[in-house]
């Protein structure tokens, strides 16, 4: 999804998202100054194009390009509880980028989580997922990155606290949380399902946001795709395993595909980090790959309950006062688009009634939307999306809590009241 985790990238971050490309070279005969050379210029051009698709589909630009900066030149700051980390330059610059990396160096980073010099990479570079990427896909991405314009800008050193700046500590982390190995198709499933699993579990590394992490920054294996707070972005990635959140068990496959490809569907719209993923990445994927992902997501086992996130609670009496206050605020500010009955006018204005994202145990996302507003992504299929205006300047913390409480508890929704303190905390949180 913009795939940032508790730890940030410390070497090459590359993501792949599709296609089986034949390996067009092997051995030293086809290497020139550390650069893989395809059999013919036409083959090389095709490989670069394929690699561009994979890099685009994997949203590499999002982490490796500062807004207004040179493409893939890195430098994006990521504030973590352990200090600030900065994404690296992955252009083919010989001095500061990956210009001297070979395809073997690149694949080793993808597959084993080790840099060119053999040093361990921090797990914000999701090599626990990328290890599943095929050698052919890795080689294609490498070929594309070798073709982009070199940028002679050094990667900014991380500013980590002791002892988190000691890379040798990662040995223990890897022992606990890393299992090396390319994706192996499940012979009991269809080709389309396996393609979707490869994209979701490996190349797309969707679990990086939609799986809770523990105090060590490792994924909670028992909670795969069960949702969790995205620490660096102050959004909540909802559970994909519970129909009470974003579980997809009762979704039509077409609605899932529409949401991934365009950012909107009859079941809702994406905002926040997921909107960036659709805008930068998923809209460029082929219909076949999108449908494969939707097919796989549809089959993720559903659980009756989602994990309970930490949620500030109000008293029953105060919650009732907020509900009453929120009804008037909703009528004055929200009903024009979302309708008095909360049914909205989808897909332009999504419904709030019976909307899982509204009534999840975590109220983070609806609070963020009321405070900061937002737009679904602009895509080829939906070039002029309708947006949500921000109300941070117009409404107080209690007023925001009131209207969010109202939409979470009206029209049959089963959410709980929202604390003004939580609104205050999120109001002061960074937007990214």
Helix or strand holding residue 86 (H, E): strand 83-86
Is 359 within the bounds of a domain? yes
| Domain count within the chain | 3
Taking phi over 0 as left and psi of -120 to 50 as alpha, with beta for the rest, 251 belongs to beta
Domain boundary among 272, 298, 324: 298
Looking at the structure, do residues 32 and 173 belong to the same domain, yes or no?
Answer: yes
Question: Is residue 282 one of the residues assigned to a domain?
Answer: yes
CATH number of residue 353's parent domain: 1.10.760.10
Let me know whether 44 and 167 are in one domain. yes
Q: What is the mean pLDDT of each run of 10 residues along the chain (432 residues)?
A: 37 32 33 53 93 86 87 83 82 97 96 94 86 95 96 91 85 89 96 95 83 64 64 66 70 91 84 83 94 92 60 76 93 93 88 85 86 85 85 90 94 89 76 53
β-strand pairing of 268-269 with 264-265: antiparallel
C-beta separation of 239 from 306 below 8 A: yes
The pTM score is 0.70
**96 and 151 together in one domain:** yes
30/24 Cα distance (integer angstroms): 9
Q: Is residue 9 part of a domain?
A: no
User: Domain check: are 196 and 167 in the same one?
Assistant: no
Do both 161 and 241 map to the same domain?
no
The SS3 of residue 299 is coil
Q: Are residues 148 and 81 in the same domain?
A: yes
| Dihedral over Cα of 351, 353, 355, 361: its sign | positive
Q: Are residues 172 and 221 both part of a single domain?
A: no
Kindly state whether residues 172 and 198 are assigned to the same domain.
no
- Classified as helix, coil or strand, 234 is coil
In angstroms, the CA 126 to CA 276 distance is 18
Q: Of 241, 272, 298, which one is at a domain's C-terminal end?
A: 298
**Same domain for 164 and 101:** yes
Residue 182 lies in a domain: no
- Whether 341 maps to a domain, the answer reads yes
CA quadruple 4, 55, 128, 294: dihedral sign: positive
Task: Indicate whether 254 and 333 sit together in one domain.
Answer: no
Which structural domain range is residue 205 located in?
191-298
Q: Are residues 209 and 171 in the same domain?
A: no
Q: Are residues 221 and 334 in the same domain?
A: no
pLDDT value at residue 81: 66
Is residue 163, in this structure, part of any structural domain at all?
A: yes
Angstrom distance (rounded) from CA 88 to CA 263: 29
Residue 4 lies in a domain: no
In a domain, 304, yes or no: no
Could you write out the DSSP letters of every residue in 89-116?
A: P-SS-TTTSSTT--HHHHHHHHHHSB-T
């Amino acid at each position: 999804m913009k795939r940032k985790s508790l730890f940030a990238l410390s070497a090459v971050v590359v993501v792949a998202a599709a296609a089986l490309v034949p390996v067009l070279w092997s051995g030293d005969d086809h290497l020139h100054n550390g650069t893989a050379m395809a059999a013919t210029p036409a083959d090389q051009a095709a490989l670069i194009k394929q690699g561009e698709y994979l890099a685009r589909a994997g949203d590499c630009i999002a982490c490796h390009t500062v807004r207004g900066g040179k493409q893939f030149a890195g430098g994006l700051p990521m504030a973590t509880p352990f200090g600030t980390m900065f994404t690296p330059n992955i252009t083919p610059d010989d001095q500061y980028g990956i210009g001297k990396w070979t395809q073997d160096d690149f694949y080793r980073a993808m597959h084993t989580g080790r840099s060119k010099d053999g040093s361990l990479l921090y797990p914000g570079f999701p090599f626990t997922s990328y290890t599943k990427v095929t050698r052919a896909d890795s080689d294609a991405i490498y070929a594309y990155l070798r073709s982009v314009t070199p940028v002679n800008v050094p990667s900014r050193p991380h500013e980590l606290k002791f002892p988190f700046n000691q890379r040798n500590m990662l040995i223990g982390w890897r022992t606990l949380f890393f299992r090396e190995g390319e994706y192996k198709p499940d012979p009991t499933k269809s080709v389309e399902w396996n393609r979707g699993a490869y994209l979701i579990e490996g190349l797309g590394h969707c679990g990086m946001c939609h799986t809770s992490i523990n105090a060590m920054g490792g994924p909670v294996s028992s909670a795969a795709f069960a949702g969790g707070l995205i620490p660096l972005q102050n959004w909540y990635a909802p559970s994909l395993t519970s129909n009470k959140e974003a579980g997809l068990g009762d979704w039509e496959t077409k609605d899932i595909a529409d949401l991934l490809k365009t950012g909107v569907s009859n079941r809702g719209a994406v905002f926040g980090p997921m909107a960036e993923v659709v805008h930068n990445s998923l809209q460029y994927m082929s219909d076949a790959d999108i449908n494969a992902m939707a097919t796989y997501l549809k089959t993720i086992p559903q659980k009756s309950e989602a994990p309970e996130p930490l949620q500030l609670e109000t008293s029953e009496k105060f919650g009732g006062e907020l509900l009453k206050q929120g009804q008037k605020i909703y009528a004055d500010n929200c009903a024009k688009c979302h309708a008095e009955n909360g049914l909205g006018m989808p897909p332009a204005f999504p419904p709030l009634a019976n909307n899982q994202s509204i009534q999840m145990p975590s109220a983070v996302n609806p609070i963020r939307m009321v405070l900061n507003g937002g737009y679904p992504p602009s895509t080829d299929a939906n070039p002029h999306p309708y947006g949500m205006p921000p109300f941070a300047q117009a409404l107080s913390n209690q007023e925001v809590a009131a209207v969010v409480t109202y939409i979470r508890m009206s029209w049959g929704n089963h959410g709980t009241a929202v604390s003004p303190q939580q609104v205050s905390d999120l109001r002061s949180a960074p937007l990214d």
